A and B are shown apart, each in its own frame.
Chain A
Amino acid sequence: MLLRRLAEAPGVSGDEGEVRAILREEVEGRAEEIFCDAMGNLYARKGKGKKPRVMLVAHMDEVGLIVTGYEKSGLLRIDKVGGIDNRVLISKPVVVGKDRVPGVIGAKAIHLQKPAERKKAIPLENIFVDIGARSQDEAEKMAKPGDYVSFTAKTVDIGDNCLCGKAFDDRAGCAVLVDVLKEDYDLELTAVFTVQEEVGLRGAGVAAYTVQPDLALVVESTSASDVAGTKEQGHVTKLGGGPAITLMDSSYIAPQTMVNFLVKIAEKLAVPYQFRHLATASTDAGRISQSLEGIMTGVISVPCRYIHSPACIISQEDWHNTVRLVKGVLNAIAEGGLPT
């Protein structure tokens, strides 16, 4: 399954090359035109010249770390790329740089901690990547400042038809787009795999400017928080509850026509769906909807537990239903035009 492979590839914001290479190979033959822009966004277009012009968007990048320097002992100093809770970094394996040098993020042994210390999260300045180098000299030969550091996690089956792994945000969306491209629709369709979403929606604005779509649909992955100790009102989405439709987040308010349109299609196709019950965080839609003179934009997400960690969980059923809904949207536009 493509999603497994996509999720396993390292692709921290600014270092999307490996993911892009996989996607380029996958869309080859499924689009008439495949190209990249100066930022590294990957475009796959079919039905050029047809009306209306629709853009599908999923981001290739994931959160991670970047090497900023060395300790004399040979440890690598790091900073975060994108929003990661420092607390999930501890006791994890990683890979560093283009050569994928393996390393680990350790922590002071419990035996040496004072009780008060244990109550606090370990601050970033005390978190290092250890590649086993015994000195700064040795470390300099293996890793350079600016090298990206990615979690390593195999994508594995878990529970009832679910997957466990890293970077489903937003490789799940990327895999949806590839699947959608397998079919033809009577419109101009450009699937864009964007870069640098996690560091401030940097790629999407450029993509919107390039494509100039009549309508954009962002396919994302969003937090599922139906977990122990969380009351129902705290559930952003539920795992297995179907694709989630965004109403509002920190950078975007869904046009009511778009919400009604998505709901109508989901109900017609009998695709289970849910609303995303959280008004914070943001997606590429924030940038796209404010591009040019404003672009009609919608967001559909695959629910994901433990997002931005190396052990995320998504439901394969949710993923398949997201594919069905996105295809349904394209078919509806091809047949009945843009939502009004």
Chain B
Amino acid sequence: MEIRRFLADICETHGISGYEHNVSALVRAALCRYADEVRQDKMGNVAFYKRGEGEEGKRPRILLSAHMDEIGLMVTKIEEGGFLRFAPVGGIDPRTIVGQEVILFGREAMPGVIGAKPPHLTSEEDREKGHEMETLYIDLALPEQKVRKLVAPGDLAMIKRESLALAGNTFAAKALDDRAGVAVMLCCLRGLEKMRHNADVFAVATVQEEVGVRGATVSAYGIVPDIGIAIDVTHGDMPGVPEHETSQLGKGPAICLGPNIHPKVGAELLRLAKEHRIPHQTEVSPGPTGTDARAIQVTRGGIPAALVSIPLRYMHTSVELADLEDIKQAGRLLAYFIATVDTAFVEGLKCY
């Protein structure tokens, strides 16, 4: 399947944190053919296991971790008139959801619109203020009685957004954070088909990253890898943000450096990118990153972690924008890394 098509499918699908089953099914269908075994744990993380050629019992174990959950909304209350109040699942800027069409997952999937205070009741001063989550509501254009039959607190809603192909290789969609990372795993597994590798690979589509890297915490514990690499998105260049705080779209994956990253794994990724002329950039994170790598590093007795990121503009809006070429290049880089790792490299990771 073409990467653009795969991404469009998984991004448009529903998979809010804690309720990843729809997107999980699509990911499984696309990635299972590259795996020797597919395992799902109790939390819903799906691991695609690809066996290496190394000697049984001595093969390095490499974990790739990309989260498949997305941010969304959860109904908290049905108001008079049938309007729904909601709470965010994950970090949502209320200013980005006004005037949006949503799909509400009640007894059935229903279209809705996020409304705000009407303009004629809004002062000039009010218009300078951002909308607050508490003042917004979902309108289903249904009478209250019907709403009460079809909807209950706890029901979820997601922004309805079709993906868009833009100039060059750019692509806009909701939930590219972190379905872009899932697409990187697909590219990597494909690349490995044509390569030889000693290491066992566990490519895991994780759950509940957006609410506190919860899926990766249990997934890394269960898999016990020698090296764990998170694949996520990072802030691309965008208006209002200084250039030095962002990575550039189309300039290749960003390799993260800092305390969350094992120095030798970070250095090896950089070396391989240079050796194979893979466009790349570096990103510095001064503390634990907000990615699966945060959890992986401190799992069990400590696991060497790394982070490869896809530059993404407008993170956590419904028009997240990335460059497909960066995704393909990240897949290549990780495949080369996996093919290079041997027991000596893994042993060296504990030698300080």
Interface residues of A (CB under 8 A from B): 71, 73, 75, 85-88, 90-93, 101-113, 118-122, 126, 128, 130-134, 138, 142, 153, 156-160, 162, 164, 223, 225-230, 234, 236, 239, 278, 280-281, 305-306, 308-311, 313, 315
Contact = CB atoms under 8 A, between A and B. Distances in A.
Contacts, number: 208
A131 B172 CA distance: 10
A109 B92 contact: no
Contacts of B250: 134
Given A85-B127, A111-B316, A236-B118, A227 B83 contact: yes
A229 B135 contact: yes
B contact patch SS: loop
Interface in B79-122: 79-81, 83, 85, 91-93, 95-101, 110-122
Given A223-B120, A234-B121, A278-B120, A102 B137 contact: no
A110 B130 CA distance: 13
Given A106-B319, A107-B317, A162-B141, A87 B98 contact: yes
A160 B146 CA distance: 9
A103 B83 contact: no
A45 to B, nearest CB: 36
A82 B81 CA distance: 31
13 contacts: A107-B93, A107-B317, A110-B315, A110-B316, A112-B241, A130-B166, A158-B112, A223-B118, A226-B81, A227-B81, A228-B79, A228-B81, A234-B121
Nearest to A233: B121
A66 B121 CA distance: 27
A87 B130 contact: yes
Cβ-closest 10 pairs across A and B: A159-B141, A132-B166, A106-B314, A132-B170, A228-B83, A132-B167, A104-B319, A309-B99, A109-B315, A225-B118
A269 B96 CA distance: 45
B73 to A, nearest CB: 14
Given A102-B166, A104-B164, A118 B130 contact: yes
B168 to A, nearest CB: 6
Interface residues of B, number: 69
A119 B314 contact: no
B98 A160 contact: no
A71 B319 CA distance: 19
Contacts of A111: 91, 235, 290, 315-316
Contact of A306 (B91, B96, B99, B128): B99
Contact of B111 (A110, A157, A225, A228): A157
B167 A138 contact: yes
Nearest to B161: A93
Interface of B: 79-81, 83, 85, 91-93, 95-101, 110-122, 127-131, 135, 137, 139-143, 146, 159, 161-162, 164-168, 170, 172, 235, 237-241, 245, 249-250, 290, 313-319, 321
Given A120-B129, A158-B140, A227-B137, A236 B99 contact: no
A107 B237 contact: no
B198 to A, nearest CB: 38
A247 to B, nearest CB: 15
A230 B315 contact: no
Given A93-B172, A111-B290, A121-B130, A159 B314 contact: no
A130 B161 contact: no
Given A132-B166, A158-B111, 7 more contacts: A75-B239, A104-B172, A111-B316, A121-B95, A138-B167, A228-B85, A234-B120
B314 A91 contact: yes
Contacts of A128: 239
A73 B97 CA distance: 26
B205 to A, nearest CB: 22
Contacts of B249: 134
Nearest to A113: B93
A265 B206 CA distance: 64
| Of B99, B167, B237, B316, most A-chain CB atoms within 10 Å | B99
Nearest to B322: A132
